[in-house]
Amino acid sequence: MNIRRRDIHVLILYVAFGVAAYSNVINAFFLSDDFEFIGRMLEGGLPFMWGQEHGGFFRPVLILSFYFDTLLWGARPFGFHLTSLVLHALNAFLVFLLTRVLLQTARLEAAEQPPEQQRRRRRRRRACVAFLAGLIFLLHPSHTEAVSWVSGRADLLASFFFLLSLFFCVAHAREAKRGALLISLASFSLALLSKESAACLPLVVFAVAVYLDKGERRAVRLKRSLMKAAPYFVLLVVYVAARAAVLGALVGGYGAAQHLNFTHSVVATQLLRFSLRAALPAFVLRGLPFLESRALSPVLIVSGTLAVLTAAVLLRRAATRAALSALARRHTFLWLMALLFVCALLPVINLRINVFDTQGERFLYLPSAFYAPGAAYLCACTQEGRRAALRTAALACLLIFYAGSLWATNRDWSAASRLSQSIIEELAAQSTRDAVLLLNAPDNLRGAYVYRNGLGRALLSFQHAKPISRAQVLAWHNLHTPLDQIELTGEAGTYTLRPLNTATKFERAGATPDCARDFSLSAEALRVRLEACAGTFDVFYFSEGRMHRAWPPP
């Protein structure tokens, strides 16, 4: 399983394609959580733990990556984006390597040695599928939250060490080298310390071990595979215990109510949403509003029950069972990728992914490492002839569609970064005090975060025109376009805000200052009366892509 010189050329090609595909965000300004992470480091801190109000996160590898980037680049975003892009290209390269080595043992090949010409043809086909798998992963339009948003790097790091661990696990299974096992376990440790979603690796190792084992007796194969996965399960238990000791909570994260919610309704609806987003970008699904309907869960449960009953009836026929068995033996690689996709979803299936924009799509990053080989296999691993030509055309269309969708989606992240930078510049230019009160501020632009978090830290550490030590926001809202208009009415001291775009919705930002009286908020309107705020805050509101000063009058 040595890496060949030709493989290095593939890696260089992936890096070049990645930089080109993400060139419209490679110098984009920081967003939301970026300011908290990087701002603390600019001030000399190392926040290895955060989010204790929910249960807490412990991701020291992520924090160390930000720390070294801060040492090297300071507050210049280019360097942070460059690191994320290199990680993304490395992950695509690992997808390429894993796909190639797993295809070498696929049971779709005949047991007897094929003629030399046929062997060469199959070797070329495996290389083609592997290269395309990495390319699909690299250009996938549902990766922008993980790659274009600096704070999404946790998924890049966890996926890198996860895939590296799996690669050396396969090397150990094939060549029985102890060094490969040690590297695999060390990589798994780093993956867990990057993000908790890597906890599914022991299940993935078990499934791959079963796939690689050529023994005839099923019970023996399962036992051997379980023994190969045992060190990973032991390491996972040690990690969970150590993490609980550090955080003071067993589950942590967003809390047990979120992470342990495996009800049938959640699993059914989320499996559909993740599967759709694995294949399609968000804008394609915006015409299917039922995907966010509460009625979706019972419909899926009833449909699934009917499908199981129908399958049970059909499988009573021996001919049907024989045909399905032959199909499964011929396409074991495809079934393996489907199983690994589901395994990789297990830690995140109860976390929300938005079907219609990019929010939450970072949770799909690792599972898509198994979607990409499956898609490449379907498109490229076929016999010559007219059908092969059609599949080649379909693959070309898919890659062009993904690349175009990726560029279009990154335009939203680029626009969000321009808003993020202009907001702190405008507040610094217009404020007369060191404290500002924002009646409203943009949370996200079509899913690309702007200031869900981090506004105070951004004003404190990322602009030097005027010291602003305190910033408070009454309401967040989404943006459908950067120029969405928010109407302000009322006399001095009493304000009413209404979005003129019906797709824009308000959401409470947190505690209100003591000087805010008669505060009321709905999705469509904000009303507040301010008493004695004039001596403490400058009051601003956001509309049409910029900050406007409401008090004192400009």
Residue 196 lies in a domain: yes
| pLDDT of the residue at 110 | 42
pLDDT at 545 over 80: yes
Question: Which of the residue ranges 128-142, 180-194, 271-285, 293-307 would you say has the lowest mean pLDDT?
Answer: 293-307
Residue 387 lies in a domain: no
pLDDT at 160 over 90: yes
- Number of domains the chain contains: 2
**43 vs 36: CA distance, rounded Å:** 11
Domain co-membership, 422 together with 306: no
Domain co-membership, 212 together with 63: yes
Q: Pick 484 or 510 by higher pLDDT.
A: 484
Residue 169 lies in a domain: yes
Number of other residues whose CB lies within 10 A of the CB of residue 356: 18
Q: What is the pLDDT of residues 297-326, one digit of tens each?
A: 666 566 666 666 666 666 666 666 566 666
Domain co-membership, 420 together with 367: no
Residue 405 lies in a domain: no
Domain co-membership, 345 together with 438: no
- Domain membership of residue 522 as a residue range: 413-551
| pLDDT of the residue at 384 | 54
pTM: 0.91
Q: Which of 381, 399, 421 is the last residue of a domain?
A: 381
Residue 51 lies in a domain: yes
Domain co-membership, 228 together with 276: yes
In Å, what is the CA distance from 552 to each residue of 215, 435, 436, 496? Answer: 79, 13, 11, 17
pLDDT at 191 over 60: yes
Q: Which of 364, 381, 398 is the last residue of a domain?
A: 381
Helix (H, G, I), strand (E, B) or coil at 533: coil
| pLDDT of the residue at 111 | 44
Domain co-membership, 433 together with 374: no
CA terminus-to-terminus distance, the chain: 68
**180 vs 381: CA distance, rounded Å:** 30
- Dihedral of the alpha carbons of 183, 248, 198, 270, in degrees to the nearest 10: 170
**481 vs 545: CA distance, rounded Å:** 9
Residue 31 lies in a domain: yes
Our measurement of the distance from residue 33's CA atom to the centroid of its chain's CA atoms, rounded to an integer in Å, reads: 15
**234 vs 212: CA distance, rounded Å:** 22
Q: What is the pLDDT of residues 46-62, one digit of tens each?
A: 766 555 544 578 899 99
Question: Which of the residue ranges 6-15, 303-312, 430-439 would you say has the lowest mean pLDDT?
Answer: 303-312
Phi, psi of 104 (to 5 degrees): -65, -25
Q: Among candidates 468, 480, 447, which has minimal Cα distance to 32?
A: 447
| pLDDT of the residue at 221 | 85
Residue 393 lies in a domain: no
Q: Which of 362, 381, 400 is the last residue of a domain?
A: 381
- Residue 1: which pLDDT band, with cuts at 50, 70 and 90? low
Structure tokens at 318: 């021996």
Q: Among candidates 57, 85, 80, 82, which has minimal Cα distance to 68?
A: 80
Q: Classify each residue of 317-331 as buried b or exposed e, where b means 16 or more C-beta atoms within 10 Å of its C-beta.
A: eeeeeeeeeeeeeeb
Our measurement of the distance from residue 453's CA atom to the centroid of its chain's CA atoms, rounded to an integer in Å, reads: 18
| pLDDT of the residue at 109 | 43
**143 vs 410: CA distance, rounded Å:** 10
Q: Pick 503 or 30 by higher pLDDT.
A: 30
Q: What is the pLDDT of residues 59-86, one digit of tens each?
A: 999 999 999 999 999 999 999 999 999 9
**518 vs 185: CA distance, rounded Å:** 58
pLDDT at 120 over 90: no
Number of other residues whose CB lies within 10 A of the CB of residue 245: 8
**248 vs 260: CA distance, rounded Å:** 18
Q: What is the pLDDT of residues 329-361, one digit of tens each?
A: 667 899 999 999 999 999 999 998 988 899 999
Structure tokens at 387: 């059908």
| pLDDT of the residue at 303 | 63
| pLDDT of the residue at 108 | 40
pLDDT at 106 over 80: no
Pairing mode of beta strands 486-489, 494-499: antiparallel
Domain co-membership, 212 together with 149: yes
Q: Pick 531 or 333 by higher pLDDT.
A: 333
**365 vs 172: CA distance, rounded Å:** 26
In Å, what is the CA distance from 323 to each residue of 165, 301, 320, 327, 510? Answer: 36, 27, 5, 6, 59
Alpha helices in 213-331 (DSSP H): 218-247, 256-259, 264-279, 282-285, 296-314, 318-330
The mean pLDDT value of the chain amounts to 86
**160 vs 195: CA distance, rounded Å:** 11
Helix (H, G, I), strand (E, B) or coil at 162: helix
- Residue 112: which pLDDT band, with cuts at 50, 70 and 90? very low
Structure tokens at 231: 């060190």
Q: What is the pLDDT of residues 208-261, one digit of tens each?
A: 999 988 766 788 888 999 999 999 999 999 999 999 888 887 777 777 777 777
| pLDDT of the residue at 523 | 92
Residue 407 lies in a domain: no
Domain co-membership, 479 together with 357: no
Q: Are 197 and 127 in contact (CB under 8 A)?
A: no
User: How many residues does this entry show for the chain?
Assistant: 554
Domain co-membership, 431 together with 375: no
- Residue 554: which pLDDT band, with cuts at 50, 70 and 90? confident
Alpha-carbon Rg for the chain, nearest whole angstrom, is 26
- Dihedral of the alpha carbons of 365, 348, 106, 234, in degrees to the nearest 10: 120
| pLDDT of the residue at 394 | 82
% pLDDT > 70, the chain: 86
Pairing mode of beta strands 486-489, 475-479: unpaired
| pLDDT of the residue at 297 | 61
Q: Among candidates 102, 98, 66, which has minimal Cα distance to 84?
A: 66
| pLDDT of the residue at 198 | 96
pLDDT at 107 over 80: no
% pLDDT > 90, the chain: 55
Domain co-membership, 329 together with 424: no
Q: What is the pLDDT of residues 364-395, one digit of tens each?
A: 999 999 999 999 998 876 555 566 677 778 88
| pLDDT of the residue at 69 | 94
pLDDT at 295 over 70: no
Average pLDDT over residues 259-271: 80
Domain co-membership, 354 together with 234: yes
| pLDDT of the residue at 17 | 95
Tell me which amino acid residue 7 is: D
Beta bridge partners, 473, equal 438
Domain co-membership, 218 together with 274: yes
Pairing mode of beta strands 441-445, 448-449: antiparallel
